[in-house]
Amino acid sequence: MRDVLVDFLRKTMTTNPKVVVVDADLAKCAGTIALEKEFPDRALNVGIAEANMAGIAAGLSTYGYIPFITSFAPFASRRIADQAMISICYAKQNVKIVGTDPGIAAQLNGGTHMPFEDMAIYRAIPDILLYEPTDAAELNAALPKILDYPKPVYIRLHRKNPRLLHDSDCKFDLMRAEVLRKGIDITFVASGIMVETALDAAAELEKEEVSAEVICCPVWKPLDTQTIINSFKKTGCALTLENHNVCGGLGSAVAEAAAENYPVPMYRIGVREKFGEVGKVDYLRKVYNLEVSDVVEHAKKVLDMKK
């Protein structure tokens, strides 16, 4: 999906002189290295200094620029946490933070580069929108909305393209989750690469006459509580699915919303008390219990709790 981001930035920087890109020596990985050649005065490489990257972006924003800063997700979250909170969010600067290769997408980069906590860090910071794209088509529709959004945004970006679940002309609303599959027995709330897992699990459950509703929830904050709670009122139980630690992630956000509005039996599919490790995606799905079979198993347990 990095090509979608780079194409958008190229077109936008051509027409909008206020859009700038700041990298911390990972422009090749992010795909933005081409922009350094095309826009040498507005595509900056600050070297391996992520905190400085965030501080520079905050400063540029005070002069009316809209900076997009990019790095691997652990460096775009925990390494710049203080600058993101104080220099960007507390100061109300319009900076767009792009963290690439989140969770198991980091694959062979291993534990130090495999963030399962990035969204949890940003969920605790006030006044920042958190977005994890579902596929390339959705990202293409979302980026203009993100550019126009006048506050900080964190984009949890997979460099490679997940399965395409949306049409090329799909519409996107920053404030709304999307029901991709209607059901009456159980609700799945999923994000990122786990959306296709949720759909595959729903198809498996259908063979056993279980009707699962699948909600695609790319924006974790602000959470579309209304769509989620309306589904819970219909199905009466739920699973959340995320390529992230269940502590502080999407599952936590949904569970909090349910506890305050409409409690239902629920299980959170995600990483539990483990660090990252080296491996291909299929292997890592097994290690962290993120496979379709895991979803089906826990869905049946939650359905039993509802009885």
For 172-220, the pLDDT digits (tens) are 999 999 999 999 999 999 999 999 999 999 999 999 999 999 999 999 9
Bridge-partner residues for 266, per DSSP? 238
State how many domains the chain has: 2
Task: Output the pLDDT for position 110.
Answer: 87
pLDDT for the residue numbered 159: 75
pLDDT tens track for 126-156: 999 999 999 999 999 999 999 999 999 999 9
Cβ within 8 Å of residue 112, ≥6 positions away = 74, 276
Q: Which domain holds residue 210?
A: 178-306
Domain of 149, CATH number, reads: 3.40.50.970
pLDDT at position 42 over 90: yes
Mean confidence (pLDDT) of the chain: 96
In a domain, 173, yes or no: no
In this predicted structure, what is the pLDDT of residue 168? 87
Residue 227 and residue 102 share a domain: no
Beta carbons within 10 angstroms of residue 38's beta carbon = 12
Within a domain: 167: no
- Tens-place pLDDT, residues 7-32: 999 999 999 999 999 999 988 888 88
Poorest-pLDDT segment among 161-175, 189-203, 242-256, 282-296: 161-175
> In sequence order, what are the residues at sequence separation of 6 or more whose Cβ sits closer than 8 angstroms to the Cβ of residue 30?
2, 5, 6, 23, 70, 71, 98, 100, 159
Task: Report if residue 171 sits inside a domain.
Answer: no
Q: Give me the mean pLDDT over the 26-51 stretch.
A: 91
Q: Residue 83: exposed, middle, or buried by beta-carbon count in 10 A (0-12, 13-18, 19+)?
A: buried
pLDDT at residue 63 tops 90: yes
- Report how far residue 82's alpha carbon sits from residue 181's, in angstroms, rounded to the nearest whole number: 40
What pLDDT, on a 0 to 100 scale, did the predictor assign at position 39? 95
Residue 169 lies in a domain: no
Quick check: pTM over 0.85?
A: yes
The enclosing domain of 193 has a CATH number of 3.40.50.920
Return the structure tokens found at 188: 């799945």
CB–CB of 295/289 below 8 Å?
no
What pLDDT sits at residue 162?
A: 78
If asked whether residues 56 and 136 sit together in one domain, one would say yes
User: Residue 297: its pLDDT value, please?
Assistant: 98
Contact status, residue 26 vs residue 32, Cβ threshold 8 Å:
no
Residue 219 lies in a domain: yes
List the alpha helices (DSSP H) in the chain. 2-15, 27-30, 33-38, 50-62, 81-82, 118-123, 136-148, 194-206, 225-235, 250-261, 281-287, 292-306
Q: Is the pLDDT of residue 222 over 90?
A: yes
Per-residue pLDDT at 307 exceeds 80: no
* Residue 168 lies inside a defined structural domain of this protein: no
CA atoms within 13 A of residue 85's CA, in its CB half-sphere: 10
From 107, 127, 157, the end of a domain falls on 157
Shared-domain flag, residues 136 and 186: no
Mean pLDDT of 48-73: 97
The per-residue pLDDT for range 154-169, each reduced to its tens digit, is: 999 987 777 889 988 8
267, part of any domain: yes
184 and 109 in a common domain: no
